[in-house]
Structure 1
Amino acid sequence: MARWGSADFRQLKRMQKKMEKLAQADFEKFCEQAAKELAARLLAKVIKRTPVDDGVLRRGWTAVSHAEAENGGNTNVKVYAESLNISKIGNVYEIEIINPVNYASYVEFGHRTANHAGWVNGRFMMTISENELDAQASKILDKKLAKFLGGVFGGD
């Protein structure tokens, strides 16, 4: 009869426990938190880019927040993003960021002058902010995922 030797299965047992821990991890919550973080970053960028003028347009980015209403209008972007509703369509998590101020689209994309003789260029505060965040999103999500998986696979 042949001798095959001995095997130490302790590492496989540890790996099995880590895989069980991963299976129990709340990916839904992770995805929602990632979406909220990206929304907070987008809001921070777009608010910073929005012209101040009388301040109405800039404040409009957070005008629909429940958290802001409860705190008398004194919330930061992170708190506001945490209060946002997330919709999940298939595998896509979506947060809608709007500015309900009636002239926001004119500032964003441009408009004719009052006498219709000229054109005022748009500021593209949302468009530029979206493009910036899109370029950074994969790096942000990679770090967030590494931290999440580190919590699952980190210790024994």
Structure 2
Amino acid sequence: MSVDISELINFRDRFKRMESEFETFLKKFLIKQALDVLAKTKKETPTDTGLLKNSWTIGDQSVAIGSRTNRSGGTEYFQMESAFAQGASLDSVVRDGDMLVITISNAVEYAKYVEYGHMTRGRNKWVDGKFMCSLAIIDVKRKIPARFEREFSAWFAEKMREN
């Protein structure tokens, strides 16, 4: 008596491929979340000269986020070019032990004062922070579980269909 185990071998091979591709999936997922944080942060960043708003970056690279007014008078934000074309590559996500980390930063000297608040130059008045990045992170972080479940399910289904 013989048994054909070719389907079982095929199934095993698919899982091996998925295992090797899973970290790439996670990195791409994190970049999407970072782009959402970046767009929300830029939307809430106060603008005088535009320097602060345009200096938000993912990793150590800049990602361009554009804006336009929609028909109802609201503002729409969109990624001007592919994140990968702008430099937000898989290398923007770094491994730190068992964690994958992506950094959103602003190199403008006064960014932290606008974010968290500061005393005026005469030290007689406190100016409240805008928390534009902090609040964007909180908002996106709240949505991550549902987003991850949806994207992982789609990715897993696609990988199971591949031969």
TM-score normalised over the length of structure 1: 0.76
State the identity as a percent. Answer: 24
Structure 1: unaligned runs, 5 residues or longer: 1-8, 69-74
Report the equivalent of 2:61.
Answer: 65
Structure 2 distance, partners of 1:148, 1:15, is: 21
Report the equivalent of 2:69.
Answer: none
Report the equivalent of 2:16.
Answer: 23
- The answer on whether the counterparts of 1:42 and 1:129 sit within 8 Å (CA) in structure 2 is yes
- The answer on whether the counterparts of 1:110 and 1:121 sit within 8 Å (CA) in structure 2 is yes
Counterpart pick for 1:43 among 27, 38, 41: 38
SS of match in other structure, 2:106: coil
4+ runs deviating over 6 angstroms: none
1:67 positional shift: 7.0
**2:114 alignment partner AA:** V
* Distance 1:154-1:66 versus aligned 2 partners, 3 A rule: same
What is the number of residues matched between the two proteins?
141
1:78 positional shift: 4.8
Structure 1 distance, partners of 2:162, 2:104, is: 38
More helix by proportion, 1 or 2? Answer: 1
1:153 positional shift: 2.0
More strand by proportion, 1 or 2? Answer: 2
Q: Does 1:137 align with 2:144?
A: yes
Q: Does 1:82 align with 2:88?
A: yes
Report the equivalent of 1:118.
Answer: 125
- The answer on whether the counterparts of 2:116 and 2:128 sit within 8 Å (CA) in structure 1 is yes
Structure 2: unaligned runs, 5 residues or longer: 65-78
TM-score normalised over the length of structure 2: 0.74
Structure 2 distance, partners of 1:155, 1:97, is: 35
For residues 90-147 of structure 1, the C-alpha deviation after alignment (integer angstroms, 9 at most, x for no partner) is 2211111110000000000111123221111100001101110110111111111111
Report the equivalent of 2:74.
Answer: none
RMSD of the TM alignment (CA)?
2.7
1:41 positional shift: 1.3
